[in-house]
Amino acid sequence: MNNEKLTLANIATYLAQQKGITKKTAIGFLQQLIETLSEELLRDGEARVKGLGVFKIEWHKSRMSVNVQTGEKYEIAGHNKITFTPDKSMREAVNKPFEHLEPIAINKETVSANDTWMDDEELRLKRFSEQAQEILGIIADLQQTQPEGKNQTLQPSETPNVSPIEKAERVQPDVPIVNQEIEQASAPVTTNIADSTSAIVQKESVEKESIHASSDEKTMMERMAKQVPTNNKRWVALSILFAVVVVISIPIYYYFFIMNHGNDATQPTTILASTSSTHIKTLASPVTQAAQSQSTTAKAVTPNPLTQPRTYNELLATETFKEGSRLTLMALKYYGNKLFWVYIYEANKDKIANPDLISAGTHIKIPKLNPKLIDVHNPQCLIQATALQTLYTKHHATQAK
């Protein structure tokens, strides 16, 4: 759409041409028309013009609004507003370019919101299985082109043979590490998951490239004699297959692990927090639980401040929750970023049932946090806080249902 504007002068020229009057009269006519219209509109609050439309003055009630930046509430005073509703003839004339189009009914089963989410997940899994298919296809190629392996005694045969074995060796030492990571996952670490999965994806892509490279070389050699199917090739193929299965199964395992234990994983930290903090009254029963979880987490957790269980012993301040105050605003005030509201929420979990619905008058404790945990310039901290945020919001969304 071009933004060309017609002015009164343009209309006047056109009128002068069409009706054989002077331009001056035309302009005078238009100005008089406008004047009469606005006068009438302001006097009666309504002006109807046949062929153009209806102008009306409507009263808009005063209403409350919220400043998006600060969360402050303010009132928008009631005021008059001018509305315009075009006449039918006007509306149809302007809509001429699209006149011939009519609504089309499509009969299709609707999909609910939950299903689309599952579809997304399924898509991702499907992509994994497609990749697996690709790799299997490449392996099949390998098996066909293998036979030249022993026959060629000199250098060219060595390179293709060595590379897959090396690769298999390279993959195998990785597997125990991955398993260890799975064990560690029982500790409340969410960032580790993301790291390890991305690492796996990288590994996979590297593997693929190397396979491509070696298979190309082999197709060159393919025309050489086909003899002596060795056991060697089968062993190589099996080891690659094993590696592929492991690579595929890990994300699936993680997926189900998060689904089932996502909530449990966060529980130990909060129990720890509530029992160890001096300001909150300890309950008798969770103490044993806490002791157990402490022993398990103590083994797995590294000195990284992000993965350590968070304790809220020291307080920076206490704030009374008022109308219009937000946990995010408090986080911005004390920690420098809104995302860190999750830690305030964790410290006050015994008082806040739902972080979206805090009653006024609640005393909120602002805990003193490890500065490494709330480093605004460290993306890891932000990622962790975001992960916690999505976890809590999802948790409460499911509770609300």
Q: What are phi and psi of 88, to 5 degrees?
A: -60, -45
> Does 22 participate in binding other proteins (rule CB under 8 A)?
no
- 23, 24, 38, 72: which one contacts other proteins (CB under 8 A)? 38
> Does 80 participate in binding other proteins (rule CB under 8 A)?
yes
The whole-angstrom separation of Cα 17 and Cα 26 is: 10
The whole-angstrom separation of Cα 322 and Cα 361 is: 6
- 66, 76, 93, 397: which one contacts other proteins (CB under 8 A)? 93
In terms of CB distance, is 82 or 316 closer to other proteins? Answer: 82
> Does 102 participate in binding other proteins (rule CB under 8 A)?
yes
Tokens of 330: 């408090």
> Does 400 participate in binding other proteins (rule CB under 8 A)?
no
Q: Within 51-70, which residues bind other proteins (CB under 8 A)?
A: 51-53, 55-59
> Does 105 participate in binding other proteins (rule CB under 8 A)?
yes
> Does 123 participate in binding other proteins (rule CB under 8 A)?
no
Specify whether the CB–CB gap between 320 and 359 falls below 8 A.
no
Give the residue among 291, 311, 296 at the shortest CA–CA distance from 265. 296
- 63, 64, 68, 104: which one contacts other proteins (CB under 8 A)? 104
Give the residue among 205, 208, 219, 218 at the shortest CA–CA distance from 135. 208
Least distance in angstroms from the C-beta of 1 to other proteins: 4
- The residues with which 365 forms a beta bridge, in sequence order, are 318
Neighbour-count burial for 328-349, b at 16+ CB within 10 Å, e otherwise: bbbbeebbeebbbbbbbbbbbb
In terms of CB distance, is 99 or 323 closer to other proteins? Answer: 99
- Quick one: which segment of 36-44, 62-70, 162-170, 361-369 binds other proteins (CB under 8 A)? 36-44
> Does 282 participate in binding other proteins (rule CB under 8 A)?
no
> Does 162 participate in binding other proteins (rule CB under 8 A)?
no
Give the residue among 321, 148, 226, 1 at the shortest CA–CA distance from 329. 321
* DSSP letter string, 118-142: HHHHHHHHHHHHHHHHHHHHHHHHH
> Does 36 participate in binding other proteins (rule CB under 8 A)?
yes
Give the residue among 165, 197, 166 at the shortest CA–CA distance from 181. 197
> Does 29 participate in binding other proteins (rule CB under 8 A)?
yes
> Does 1 participate in binding other proteins (rule CB under 8 A)?
yes
In terms of CB distance, is 58 or 119 closer to other proteins? Answer: 58
- Quick one: which segment of 26-34, 189-197, 343-351, 389-397 binds other proteins (CB under 8 A)? 26-34
Burial status of residue 188 (CB atoms within 10 A of its CB: 0-12, 13-18, 19 or more): buried
Containing 155, the helix (H) or strand (E) segment is: helix 155-184
- Quick one: which segment of 106-114, 283-291, 339-347, 357-365 binds other proteins (CB under 8 A)? 106-114
The whole-angstrom separation of Cα 56 and Cα 41 is: 7
In terms of CB distance, is 44 or 209 closer to other proteins? Answer: 44
In terms of CB distance, is 54 or 301 closer to other proteins? Answer: 54
Residue showing tokens 């759409």: 1
Q: Which residues contact 189 (CB under 8 A, 6 or more apart)?
A: 300, 301, 307
Least distance in angstroms from the C-beta of 83 to other proteins: 8
Q: How many residues bind other proteins (CB under 8 A)?
A: 69
- 22, 31, 172, 198: which one contacts other proteins (CB under 8 A)? 31
Least distance in angstroms from the C-beta of 27 to other proteins: 10
- Quick one: which segment of 75-83, 127-135, 187-195, 325-333 binds other proteins (CB under 8 A)? 75-83
In terms of CB distance, is 88 or 281 closer to other proteins? Answer: 88
- Quick one: which segment of 29-37, 124-132, 145-153, 207-215 binds other proteins (CB under 8 A)? 29-37
Specify whether the CB–CB gap between 349 and 271 falls below 8 A.
no
Burial status of residue 27 (CB atoms within 10 A of its CB: 0-12, 13-18, 19 or more): middle
Helix axis angle for 231-276 and 191-221, nearest 10°, is: 170
- 24, 42, 299, 304: which one contacts other proteins (CB under 8 A)? 42
Residues near other proteins (CB under 8 A) are 1-8, 11, 14-15, 18-19, 25-26, 28-38, 40-42, 44-45, 47-53, 55-59, 78-82, 84, 86, 89-91, 93-98, 101-110
